[in-house]
Amino acid sequence: MLVAADYSQLELRVIAHLSADRKLLGILNTGGDVFKLIASQWKMVDIADVTAEQRQQAKQVFYCIHLGTAALQHVRLMFDVIRYFIFCH
């Protein structure tokens, strides 16, 4: 048996679920383009007028924020562990 899975925009789907953002959930559940939606709101243009470059910029900003926040959380956790071992042992 061979199983294939599409993890398309997995991070967005998790964020949408956890945040219960209706607009984000709606566009994900209808097969819409989330990055076009983000770009249209960010650049204040109609979603139909979003260029490929604007979509790519929105995607880059989203992932920079998302991955940067995750990295910062890991660094904080690492420092907490280091503090524990320094001060509690």
pLDDT of residue 53: 95
Q: Is 6 part of the annotated catalytic residue set?
A: yes
Give the tens place of pLDDT for each residue, 10-55.
777 888 888 888 888 898 889 888 889 889 998 999 999 999 999 9
6, 33, 49, 80: which is the annotated catalytic residue? 6
pTM of the full predicted structure?
A: 0.61
Alpha-carbon gap, residue 22 to 28, rounded angstroms: 10
pLDDT score at 38: 87
Say what the pLDDT of residue 52 is. Answer: 96
The CA distances from residue 45 to 1, 6, 9, 40, 50, in Å, are 46, 30, 23, 5, 7
pLDDT surpassing 70 at residue 63:
yes
